[in-house]
Amino acid sequence: MIANDLSQHDFRQIARWLYEKTGIYMNDSKQPLVNGRLQKRLRELQLTNLSAYRKCLMADENEQQLAINLLTTNETYFFREPKHFDFISHELLHAEQKQRGWQVWSAAASSGEEAYSIALLMAERYGLASSWQIVGTDINTQVLNTARRGIYPIQAAARIPQNLLKSFCVKGKGKDEGWFMFKPALRDHVTFTRYNLINGPGLGQSFDLILLRNVLIYFELADKQRIVQNVLSNLRPGGWLLVGHSESINGYDPRLQTVRTGCYRFMP
Ligand SMILES: C[S@@+](CC[C@H](N)C(=O)[O-])C[C@H]1O[C@@H](n2cnc3c(N)ncnc32)[C@H](O)[C@@H]1O
């Protein structure tokens, strides 16, 4: 074994720590992944083995956040799983009459693409002067910083419908060449904050729509169920919960009615 490799003992200690902190479950098959992702940090700290890193991790809260930032999987893109956005646009925003603006929670927001995709649909339907609001949360502080900036590589815009891009985004110029950003008036409707899904009991707000997409896959069954309960305590009666297409929560709660793949209505 080379010196920098994580021994099984160190791996299991780190995996246990990660599980206790975040609920993310990593079995022994994830050892190479964890090893690879932590190497960067090891080099920065000039540590020669991961056993030393483990000790440093256990003793330092800041290091723990850095490790969470490295160990979470943050893949996301604009309008990911487009059927959900068709559903939101056609079935929810154009069908439901609302007295006040939609309150939406993107509960594993990563770098913000999901939250801004919803914001674009809201802006198209209701304009920027009305009172809809999107809250994005994640446990990874690094991706949240990207989300707050609201500036993305121009290639990422390829997934955004042209009319929405034209109306609500601005192409970067000069030093911002190659990037695009959301107009400030749209960004004003979107906020981001750190929140750990496993901690419960949610944000203490009542949302009309919650997206909990492509995050449940990282948890064990009992924790998935707990997280869904936490999230439901923040969903208004008649509100909507969306999970990833491959993350069925059928049977988790009798108050949830399946409407489409990954789309549930909360009917207490
Ligand atoms: C694969 S991304 C999904 C992003 C987006 N929802 C989508 O579908 O494109 C999963 C996100 O869940 C976050 N996450 C993992 N465990 C979490 C926890 N315990 N609390 C909050 N966020 C968590 C990760 O940091 C990551 O950004």
What secondary structure does DSSP assign to 78-131, as a single string?
TT-SHHHHHIIIIIIITT---SS--EEEETT-TTTHHHHHHHHHHHHHH-SSS-
**Does one domain contain both 143 and 227?**
yes
Separation of CA 23 and ligand 1 centre (Å) = 11
Does a structural domain hold residue 101? yes
Residue 134: name the closest of 57, 80, 204, 211 by CA. 211
**Residue 12: both structure tokens together:** 């299991």
Domain with 34, as residue range(s), is 8-71
Residues 93 and 118 in one domain: yes
**Residues 97 and 50 placed together within one structural domain of the fold:** no
What is the mean predicted confidence (pLDDT) over 230-250? 96
Show the tokens assigned to 68: 């969470």
In a domain, 209, yes or no: yes
Atom of ligand 1 nearest to the CA of 211: 6
Q: For ligand 1, say whether the CB of 212 is within 6 Å of any of its atoms.
A: no
- Picking from 71, 97, 121, the residue at the C-terminal end of a domain is 71
Positions marked catalytic: 37, 138
DSSP per position, 2-64: -TTSPPHHHHHHHHHHHHHHH-----GGGHHHHHHHHHHHHHHTT-S-HHHHHHHHHH-HHHH
- Ligand 1 and 196: CB distance under 6 A: yes
Verify that 103 and 221 share a domain, yes or no. yes
Neighbours of 116 (CB within 10 A): 29
Residue 259 domain-assigned (yes or no): yes
Quick check: is 1 in a domain? Answer: no
- What are the angstrom distances between the C-alpha of 83 and each of 8, 30, 193, 194, 242? 42, 31, 27, 28, 11
Check whether 69 has a pLDDT greater than 60. yes
The whole-angstrom separation of Cα 152 and Cα 117 is 13
Q: Is residue 69 lining ligand 1, measured as CB closer than 6 Å? A: no
Return the CATH number at 63: 1.10.155.10
> 31 and 144: one domain?
no
Q: Both 145 and 114 in a single domain? A: yes
- Kindly tell me if the per-residue pLDDT of 197 is higher than 80: yes
Same domain, 205 and 237: yes
The whole-number pLDDT of residue 260 equals: 94
What does the pLDDT read at residue 201? 85
Q: Is residue 36 part of a domain?
A: yes
Q: Which ligand 1 atom is the nearest neighbour of the CA of 196?
A: 20
Of the three residues 71, 91, 114, the one that is the final residue of a domain is 71
Please write the tens of the pLDDT for every residue from 91-119. 999 876 676 799 999 999 999 999 999 99
192: Cβ below 6 Å to ligand 1? no
- On whether both 66 and 89 belong to a single domain, the answer is no
Phi-psi region of 200 (alpha: psi -120 to 50; beta: other; left: phi over 0): left
**pLDDT band at 225, cuts 50/70/90?**
very high
pLDDT at 100: 77
Position in ligand 1 atom list of the atom nearest CA 212:
6
Give, for ligand 1, the residue of 18, 159, 215, 223 to mutate: max count of ligand atoms closer than 8 Å to Cβ.
215
Query: Does 152 share its domain with 43?
Result: no
Identify whether 3 is part of a domain.
Answer: no
Do 261 and 163 share a domain, yes or no? yes
Q: Identify whether 156 is part of a domain.
A: yes
111 close to ligand 1 (CB < 6 Angstrom): no
What integer is the mean pLDDT of 16-43?
A: 95
Cβ of 142 below 6 Å from ligand 1? no
In the predicted model, is pLDDT for residue 5 greater than 80? Answer: no
Is the CB of residue 122 below 6 angstroms from any atom belonging to ligand 1? no
Task: Tell which of 71, 100, 125 closes a domain.
Answer: 71
Q: Is residue 102 located within the same domain as residue 219?
A: yes
Alpha carbon of 111 to ligand 1 centroid (Å): 9
pLDDT at 124 over 60: yes
Q: Is residue 106 assigned to a domain?
A: yes
Domain count, the chain: 2
Given a cut of 50, is residue 1 above it in pLDDT? no
Cα–ligand 1 centroid distance for 107 (angstroms): 8
Alpha carbon distance 182, 165 (integer Å): 9
Mean pLDDT over each residue of the chain, to the nearest integer: 94
Cα 145–Cα 149–Cα 151 angle in degrees, nearest 5: 120
pLDDT at 99: 66
Give me the CATH number covering residue 233.
Answer: 3.40.50.150
> How many whole angstroms from 217 Cα to the centroid of ligand 1?
10
Separation of CA 212 and ligand 1 centre (Å): 8
Ligand 1 site, residue 140, Cβ cutoff 6 A: yes
Is the pLDDT at 3 greater than 90? The verdict is: no
Task: Mark whether 102 and 173 lie in a shared domain.
Answer: yes
Give the mean model confidence (pLDDT) for residues 61-87. Answer: 98
Contacts of residue 114, Cβ cutoff 8 Å, sequence gap at least 6? 76, 80, 106, 136, 211, 213
Q: What is the pLDDT, as a whole number, of residue 6?
A: 62
